[in-house]
Amino acid sequence: MLTTSRSFNKPVNSSRFRQHVNPLASRYQQPRVPSPSVDTSWLTSNLSSPSNPYHLDIGCAKGTFCLSMSPLNPSVNYLGLEIRDPVVEYALDRRNRRKLDNCHFVSCNANVDLERVLEGINAVGGLLKTVTIQFPDPHFKEKHKKRRVVVPELVRLIGESMEKEEGVVYLASDVKEVLDEMREEFNNCDMFEDTVEGDGYLEENVNEVPTERELSVLKDDKPVWRASFRLRR
């Protein structure tokens, strides 16, 4: 079910969220975002200017990054994708309480629904400008690594849909192996070029605000691994 705008009488209890889900489970393999030829109201009824440029945050969790960025850039629509329904409800509750009209959250599996999401953005006259994938579930166990979010098809869809002149993808993780794997997938796509030469990493967050996870990691004096890509011109 597509989670859209709704009102809550009480704040959602965020302390009981399940931290990990299996994106390959049958319940998460069903499309949740409608085809734009059928319905684009999930965008038009939740954003005051749906034709504005978009920032897509894949794996947005509780939405703190989008909620913090959207007031700073009112001419950009911040769209967060998150697979866990209760977490999206919580993010929407936070959005509604702040009365933000350029920020929305959608409950879906990015590796199932990304194409429909991007088609929806295009159908309402929007343009994908930037993408963030920050601190995705690492799925540490060897047998679970196939659950990781960044796969060749996702990279290709992003590349085909981004604004050609300013398209940028930002990646971050506190697990070096996870960042390196995401980076390899983007390097393997001939539509993107790494903004850092060689084997180095971005030293600082290029965004205006950090995620909750980044703040927690840095507070514990642990490293954050970062990379960014731009479309080849």
The per-residue pLDDT for 32 is 73
The per-residue pLDDT for 125 is 97
The per-residue pLDDT for 22 is 64
Q: What is the pTM for the complete model shown?
A: 0.88
**Is 137 a known active-site residue?**
yes
DSSP letter string, 60-100: -TT-HHHHHHTTT-TTSEEEEEES-HHHHHHHHHHHHHHT-
Read off the tokens for 193. 């070029």
The per-residue pLDDT for 1 is 45
Domains of the chain: 24-231 (3.40.50.150)
Read off the tokens for 159. 């590349």
Q: Distance between CA atoms of 7 and 54, rounded to whole angstroms?
A: 24
Q: Are 141 and 39 in contact (CB under 8 A)?
A: no
What is the mean pLDDT for each group of 10 consecutive residues in the chain (233 residues)? 46 56 66 84 98 97 97 98 95 98 96 95 97 82 56 95 92 94 95 92 93 92 96 87
**101, 137, 190, 199: which is the annotated catalytic residue?**
137
Q: Distance between CA atoms of 110 and 82, rounded to whole angstroms?
A: 8
The DSSP 8-state label assigned to residue 113 in this structure reads H
Burial of 134 (0-12, 13-18, 19+ CB in 10 A): buried
